[in-house]
Amino acid sequence: MIGFFVPNTNIYLWIIGILVGILYFYTIPLAVLGSFILVYLIYYKYRVDVESEERWRHVVENLQLDMDAASQNIMMELPFPLIILRKDETILWYNSRFRTILGSKANILNKKYTKIFPEFDFDILTGEEEQWSEFQLRDRHYRVYTKPVTNAKDEQIFLLYWIDQSDWKELKKKYEMERPVVAYLQVDNYDEILSSTNESYRPLINAIIDQKIGSWCKEYDALVNKYEQDQYVLVFEQQHLYAMEDKKFTILDTMRETQSGNKIPITVSMGIGFSDDDISFVQRKDLAKSAMDIALARGGDQVVVRRNEKVSYFGGKTQALEKRTKTKARLKAHGIKELIENADQVFIMGHALPDIDALGAALGIYRSTMFLNKPAFMVIDDSNPSIDVLYKDMLGAGYGEMMLRGESARKKWTTDSLLVILDVHRKDLVQDVELLAKAEKVIIIDHHIRASNFIEEAVLTYIEPYASSTCELVTEVIEYIDEEIDLTELEATALLAGIHMDTKGFSFKTGVRTFEAASFLRKKGADTLKAKEYLKDDLEILVAKSEALKEIEFVEKGVALAVVENRSEKVQLIAAQTADAMLNIQGVEAAFVLAQNGEGAIISGRSYGKVNVQRILEELGGGGHMNMAGAQLPGVDPAQAKEKLIQVINKYV
């Protein structure tokens, strides 16, 4: 019944046949005539169907031929290069545009694709999915679209469409190069320069500073605005930043060499912030401000470039100028006193493998905390050769109960506890990283040049690179907390020993305030002979130093290198003292000593100032001062560390 309603020409023949059959009952002649007509109609329908099928087949065949011709024409005239590969990377076919980008008329059919483009990622020919990849051919950039298909022989082939992205890449690069960069520039020692200069020369110095900075900014098409007597803000394009970096920020040398009646060199610091992401001007300003803070904390006379979380350093050729005022020390001391008074207990922690400077400073903060009637604990896991004598004296004097291992300190910690970190400001170098992670209130007192992985969470930071030692800074803090703090002889002597050690007997990095701090400690009962005894070497250290000194080699003019073969627990102290001893050799301006401890290679660097050892060892993950720095390379042996160090020294020179 369903078929009855579907259009079908056969239905007419059936109706006619039925009607002819009925005629046979009424009139034979008409029925015979109807039969002849029916036969003719059946024959006619058959001929029509055959001819219609033939015409349709002809149409389909012609259409297929037309489609094949169109497909071939499209493939040949595609607006971008196309190449077809077999799975074995053999070239099956390519169009004329692909030949054009090759720049060669040589026939490459049936050649291996790997020989023509050896740098191409051929892993894309192993998948079953469509893929995109990037490829550079000479000075053009292409985005290659790979489509796997199966041919008539049931073989897998790959169609590679090469889409030229060079114009887009060029536009993107132009956009990136024209991104705005914000920078802060400050004259480090402006007040000291003017106060030490004859009054008649002061206007000239101001004018020359503005002229030198303005001239340098004009060279890089930078907008500069002076918003304080000694502070400037700059805005320029990112492409000019790369030019500045290539020339190592010549403004540093230009200002340092300026002489117009000033008795001390003019130094400037710069903080530059930019990002690869599209961030606002406010965010760029914050990055630049953060970079400027780092530059000043590192002692000035340098440029710090902050690119998101990555920080780069330039300059740093002069010693940090010692400040003539103690205002900052007094303010920091009052802040430290207030934080101690508001805490329920205080934990004092230095760096891993503490030295005399860290332990002496810890004793000073311990006594200040006890004076303010707050319980205090020093976090020390174990003694080491550099503090053995002082450590034993502390145990003999009853300090054992106040010294805790990291695990015990974490158990005693409360939400109202205060953590004071001494002689270190890097998260990865503190005595107990887990205790630092628990602390909500942290004070940092340090004299090292600020590094990039700084403990940002500190509520109070007192970092002064000009200071000789952390013991000097802590001594000043003790003076301003309360002059009546009664240091024991052991505590005063330990503080003096810390200063003595870092100044190499008051002959290195020693300023007026260093002697003032030593004088204060002497009044409090410090024993100078005992302080020197804390710094004595044992026979093993002297022998190891002598053996290392015999094997000194010069890797650059004035730069000497030695390797310590000793593998005892005293190796770190041996390396540091060997580097100190090397500076006493004629012709040595900078000394590097390599050694090995249980974790890997260690490097100690020392210099008299012409070579910035801190900049060199920062490249290897270390830090310190321009005259005294160190680095640790876990999992690296001294031979490998030596090779890396020589590469960095050559790059620096």
Q: For the chain, give me the number of helices (H) and strands (E)?
A: 23, 23
With a CB cutoff of 8 Å and minimum separation 6, the contacts of 169 are 141
Whether residue 348 contacts residue 378, with contact meaning beta carbons closer than 8 Å, is answered with yes
HSE-CB of 423 using CA atoms within 13 angstroms: 29
- What is the distance between the alpha carbons of residues 239 and 422, in angstroms, rounded to a whole number? 41
Task: Sort strands 442-446 and 418-422 into parallel, antiparallel or unpaired.
Answer: parallel
500 is in an annotated binding site: no
447 is in an annotated binding site: yes
Query: Residue 22: is it exposed, middle or buried by C-beta count within 10 angstroms (0-12/13-18/19+)?
Result: exposed
DSSP secondary structure of 100-148: HHHT--S--TTSBHHHH-TTS-GGGGS-SS-EEEEEEETTEEEEEEEEE
Q: How many CB atoms lie within 10 A of CB 603?
A: 27
Whether residue 648 contacts residue 630, with contact meaning beta carbons closer than 8 Å, is answered with no
| Paired tokens of 443 | 């004070």
Whether residue 369 contacts residue 340, with contact meaning beta carbons closer than 8 Å, is answered with yes
- What is the distance between the alpha carbons of residues 114 and 120, in angstroms, rounded to a whole number? 7
HSE-CB of 494 using CA atoms within 13 angstroms: 28
537 is in an annotated binding site: no
625 is in an annotated binding site: no
Beta bridge partners of 226: 232
CA distances 531 to 13, 440, 539, Å, are 128, 35, 19
286 is in an annotated binding site: no
- What is the distance between the alpha carbons of residues 471 and 363, in angstroms, rounded to a whole number? 10
**Annotated binding-site residue numbers:** 351, 355, 357, 423, 447, 502
Going by the annotation, the residues of the binding site for Mn(2+) are 351, 355, 357, 423, 447, 502
